[in-house]
Amino acid sequence: MLFPDYRARRMRQSETFRRMVRETVLSPDDFILPLFVISGKGVKNPISSMPGHFQLSIDNLVKTAKEAWDAGVPGVILFGIPEKKDPLATSAYAKNGIVQRAVKELKNRIPDLAVITDVCLCEYTDHGHCGVVEKGIIDNDASLDLIARTALSHAQAGADMVAPSDMMDGRVAEIRDMLDENGLTHVPIMAYSAKYCSAFYGPFRQAAQSAPQFGDRRTYQMDPANAQEAIREVTMDVEEGADIIMVKPALPYLDVICRVRQEIDLPIAAYNVSGEFSMIRAAAQMGWIDGDKVMMETLISIKRAGADIILTYFATDAAKALNR
């Protein structure tokens, strides 16, 4: 088809035509809202690097989740900030831990909301790494039981889904086995399968108080230069029992999302991470961009690349915009 016989602009001349031929459509159903929960009552600590987001006590967490639910967002993912940390992250799998209590309250107050929990140790260890540290090295196999115990405690508290983000080898199989052995075969796993060692996590680490106290996470999170390795990671998690796989971050890795979409037929999640969010918010506050339009263009790009689910700090705002 060549000009002038074919004129692509014919189908762009009105909003109605553009809607009729639109290839990718965003819906509030696509979103999961990340939330940070902390002990106390009436707590709403602003996260300076993430305008509009807060560390929330459980009472305020429920209010924020309800606002998202009322806007059409079907789910939230919880990140806990414990009162104490130690080398073995004991607060992560404590029966009365902050996430466990938050899950129970959310399911009591908003029963149909999908409550997902991030399963990792970094927020709960005094060294800030995602696994057990032995002689300055993150011990993969020694970490698996603690990660699985954390997932089990979340599921027993009522979490609808658990999401391991640690990037330890074999943790999906360990979690699946532990859930199944405890009668929780119905609880799905959303695995952070291709999680890159990214500089885009900076604001999150402030929010979750989870920065490593020494070194970095390059020995377990993926090298940003690698795409084929992501396929191996994803395939391994699928074989171990993951129900949803995730690529994180989203925007610098749209090519990885696309490649994974071509390789597997499970639902794909992508995490529109804190740095991506904060750059848009900061540029909008400076008047350099139209923040709402860039928000929507960003989210549609992630879905167009192949993501079925988008974890995003924009979730409530984007859902409200789509409902207008």
The predicted pLDDT at position 136 comes to 86
248 among known catalytic residues:
yes
Is 8 domain-assigned? no
Query: pLDDT > 70: what percent of the chain?
Result: 100
Provide the domain limits for residue 150.
27-323
Tally the domains of the chain: 1
What are phi and psi for residue 74, nearest 5 degrees? -80, -15
List the beta bridge partners of residue 36: 55, 79
| Active-site option among 248, 293, 303, 320 | 248
| Active-site option among 66, 107, 135, 195 | 195
The whole model's pTM is what? 0.96
Is 64 domain-assigned? yes
pLDDT at 305 > cutoff 80: yes
Is 3 domain-assigned? no
CATH value at residue 65: 3.20.20.70
Is 276 domain-assigned? yes
Is 9 domain-assigned? no
66 among known catalytic residues:
no
pLDDT tens, 72-92? Answer: 999 999 999 999 999 999 999
Is 19 domain-assigned? no
pLDDT tens, 23-62? Answer: 999 999 999 999 999 999 999 999 999 999 999 999 999 9
Is 4 domain-assigned? no
CB atoms within 10 A of CB 106: 27
Is 278 domain-assigned? yes
List the beta bridge partners of residue 190: 244
Pairing mode, strands 137-139 and 161-164: unpaired
Whether 82 contacts 124, CB under 8 Å: yes
